[in-house]
Amino acid sequence: MGLTDQSMKSSALTDIFHIDKNDNEFVIALAGNPNTGKSTVFNSLTGLRQHTGNWPGKTVVNARGNYSHQGKDFILVDLPGTYSLFSSSAEEEVARDFICFGNADAVVVVADATCLERNLNLVYQVMELTDNVILCINLIDEARKKKIEIDAVGIEEDLGIPVVLCAARNGIGIAELKDMVYKVAMGEIKPTPRIVEYDADYEELIGSLVSVIGPAVKELLRNVNPRWAALRLTDGDEKFINTLTGHLPGYLQSAIEGILAESCFFKECKACGIYNSVYDKDKQAIRDMIAENTYRRIEEVTAKYVKTDTKKQYRDRMIDNYITSKIFGLPLMLAMLALVFWITISGANSLSELLSGFLFWVEDKLTVFFKHLDAPDWLHGVLVLGMYRTVAWVVSVMLPPMAIFFPLFTILEDLGYLPRVAFNMDHLFKKARAHGKQCLTMCMGFGCNAAGVTACRIIESPRERLIAILTNNFVPCNGRFPTLIAISAVFIMSLGSSGIGNRLLAVLMVSGLVVFGIAVTLAVSWLLSKTLLKGIPSAFTLELPPYRVPQIGRVLYTSVIDRTIFVLRRAVIAAAPAGIIIWILGNIHIGDLSLIGHAAGFMDPAARLIGLDGYIILAFILGIAANETVIPILLMSYLSAGAMTELSSIESLGHIFLDNGWTWLTALNTMLFSLLHWPCAATLLTIKKETGSMKWTVLSAFIPTAAAVLVCLTTTLIYKAINILL
């Protein structure tokens, strides 16, 4: 979305960020620091009617939503969370360019009431860009808990823009915010921002620039504030200056050059006479001065209108004493992981049985119905035994773990635990020469690897971003870890173990696999840093947001509706045709073997080398559309080979596998292969989109596959060695 050379035409600038609207509609941009609950404000305003699945606090693309208020329609654009608009990252560029060149009627800046000082920096920056700014001070409930008192009226008068106090999670202040947005968009209230004044000699320079470029900027770049344009001409990066001046007539460019060359700030540059190769030192001095002045102003504001009781600020630090402690930090993290899996596995078992009981009862009824209609056998086969049964398996085996895991994970996310994980793990990522935020993108990968790959945009450095993208697949997504859970049960059965210890064993198994996935991520990241993507880790700043009590109701709603249903829908869409194909392949015979049998037989020798069988590899290949379908496809394949025809419970799932010659090695390697193998089609497409390169997309499939084969080969050799020794 950056302003490229191709988009330098006058119209292109505004067009990229132009949102189609009719007379009765207003475009409202939502800006704010990360972790301010901006997405919650977005959801409260739009009533969750957003266009894209939004990960709280991780808006890396512009999400859009609509709402109506007093007969007018509002298009709300959720900008990425940014600390500043000085384009130190792709997100900041998007946010800046949208406010700058988009056609927003008003900008709502969401600020965190518990950290107003830092948040006001962005407010002042936006105020320089546009007059129509509304400050929404969110999380006011958290601030009250911490005995932080905020004088909204005082801030309103001091800043000259409307201020609304909000606790978006509870809907507090949302009605007032809608009213205020309406009034500002309609022009009923005209904000008059009191922007920061800089040093006198600098203001002089800006003044003369404004008088020269003012009329042209107003005419050619409607939404751009001339003063802001003048400021950026003195301190902006070259690309941005070129874009700006590219829109202005030629005679102005030389006038600008003249002013800048004369200015006391650019003495060193006088000799070369070219303003856009201003020495970085000058720009740096200006940027420092601007930031210092802004923060000095903010200090005055917060000193006057924000009262803080420091004693109350120590709750988070107390908790962090344990969560991020040198001794307890990592063990607590592992314990948390195990606990989440324990709840998931325990709950999923009974839920799965209930669901499969019901769905297979429906299958029986469908069969009766088809018989009643005298439908041909093949039709019944394709639709009921093929399509319906596969979908039923996807739903009954995959849905329960997802439905339990997603809310649990969202609770951890809401709580503010994930950045602490990144903090605890950072030294490992540093050793692997990867970016500290890779950990956060991996957390996203737990939900969906495609989302994880998109989330890699939070990493500014292209090298580390690529590493994060290429390795995201080593985190088992929601489509895969039900597979891990199911197969871990088979693994335990294959060991001949039974009893209460089983569940614990399954939990340890799955947690161990996740930890192994993380270890592989680190190892591959390190290898990539040493070979294809050489380099040292780039700078990293990580904010640990305050702990917040999760909104259980909202968590359930968003995780069930937004994620579970979304993921399930995708799985079912992939499973239905896969079921049909498998049934057909399983029922067309060449010689005395079905097509599946032939295909599996073809792959069998290679598969045996890595401790799997042809059917398993076939299932993984066909499961590329959605990982959720791997186990159902595998079951269908085995069943079509005639091993068994009835499947009454999840328990019997294990027996089918064991009847088909599975050993503990097969189970282990199937889990490892599932954990490490190539990404699903959706993830591959996302990688193609994000990297824009075929080479990296191919590598993103090849590297995991190579890792999977290597690891499975190793375990097979160890297995054989053990067998020989015993």
Partner 1 sequence: MPKLNDASVGSVVTVQKLESTGILRERMLALGLTKGAKVEVIRKGPSGDPTLFCIRGAMIALRNEESSLIAVQI
Sheet containing strand 106-112, strands side by side: 63-69, 72-78, 25-32, 106-112, 133-138, 163-165
Residue from 39, 225, 234, 324 in contact with partner 1 (CB under 8 A)? 324
Name the region of 3 (left: φ>0; alpha: ψ -120 to 50; beta: rest): beta
Which one of 54, 89, 223, 438 is in contact with partner 1 (CB under 8 A)? Answer: 89
Examine residue 438 and tell whether it contacts partner 1 (CB under 8 A).
no
CA distance 684 to 91: 23
Please identify which residue in 411, 460, 560, 595 interacts with partner 1, judged by CB under 8 A. 460
Distance CA 259, CA 254 (A): 9
> For residues 137 and 633, which CB has a smaller minimum distance to partner 1 in the complex?
137
Q: Give me the half-sphere count of Cα atoms (radius 13 Å) on the Cβ side of residue 278.
A: 31
Q: Are 145 and 68 in contact, with CB atoms under 8 Å apart?
A: no
* Residue 441 CB, nearest approach to partner 1 (Å): 16
- Single out the residue of 17, 74, 83, 101 in contact with partner 1 (rule: CB under 8 A): 83
Region of 87 on the Ramachandran plot (φ > 0 left; ψ -120 to 50 alpha; else beta)? left
Residue 531 near partner 1 by CB under 8 A: no
Query: At 110, which helix (H) or strand (E)?
Result: strand 106-112
Q: Does 336 bind partner 1 (CB under 8 A)?
A: no
How far are the Cα atoms of 123, 183, 193 from residue 226, in angstroms, in the given order? 18, 25, 15
Shortest distance, position 392 Cβ to partner 1, whole Å:
46
292 binding partner 1? (CB under 8 A): yes
**Binding map of partner 1 across residues 93-132, x = CB under 8 A, - = no contact:** ---------------------xxxxx--x-----------
For partner 1, the closer of residues 289 and 644 by Cβ is 289
Bridge partners for 184 per DSSP:
none
Residue whose CB is less far from partner 1, 42 or 83: 83
Binding mask 369-408 for partner 1 (x = CB under 8 A): ----------------------------------------
Tokens read off for 89: 């990252």
Q: Which of the ranges 134-142, 164-172, 533-541, 665-673 carries the binding residues for partner 1, by CB under 8 A?
A: 533-541
319 binds partner 1 (CB under 8 A): no
How far does the chain reach from its first CA to its final CA, in angstroms?
62
The stretch near partner 1 (CB under 8 A) out of 100-108, 282-290, 477-485, 630-638 is: 282-290
Tokens 């030192």, residue?
281
| Binding test (CB under 8 A) with partner 1, winner from 264, 318, 500, 539 | 539
188 binds partner 1 (CB under 8 A): no
What are the tokens at 299?
Answer: 């200090």
Q: Judged by CB, which is closer to partner 1: 179, or 320?
A: 320
Residue 282 corresponds to which tokens in the numbers above? 């000058």
Q: Which of 98, 417, 423, 696 binds partner 1 (CB under 8 A)?
A: 423
Nearest alpha carbon to residue 88 among 541, 579, 439, 451: 541
What minimum distance in Å lies between the beta carbon of 705 and partner 1?
33
Binding of partner 1 by 529 (CB under 8 A):
no
Work out the angle between the directed axes of helices 116-129 and 90-101 (0-180°, nearest 10): 40
Residue 3 and residue 82: Cα distance in Å, rounded? 18
Instruction: By CB under 8 A, name the one of 334, 542, 573, 710 that touches partner 1.
Output: 542
Q: Which residues of 77-111 are buried (b: 16+ CB within 10 A; e: fewer)?
A: bbbbbbbbbbbebbbbbbbbbbbbbbbbbbbbbbb
Span near partner 1 by CB under 8 A; candidates 181-189, 279-287, 571-579, 689-697: 279-287
Within residues 203-262, the interface with partner 1 by CB under 8 A covers none
**Residue 710, Cβ neighbours under 10 Å: how many?**
12
CA contacts within 13 A on the Cβ side of 373: 10
Taking CB under 8 A as the binding criterion, the range among 289-297, 382-390, 675-683, 714-722 that sits at the site for partner 1 is 289-297
Interface with partner 1 (CB under 8 A), residue from 52, 192, 211, 284: 284
Least Cβ distance, residue 503 to partner 1 (angstroms) = 30
321 versus 723: smaller Cβ distance to partner 1: 321
**What residue ranges bind partner 1 (CB under 8 A)?**
83-84, 86, 88-89, 114-118, 121, 280, 284, 287-288, 291-292, 295, 316-317, 320-321, 324-326, 329-330, 423-424, 426-427, 430, 436, 460, 537, 539-546
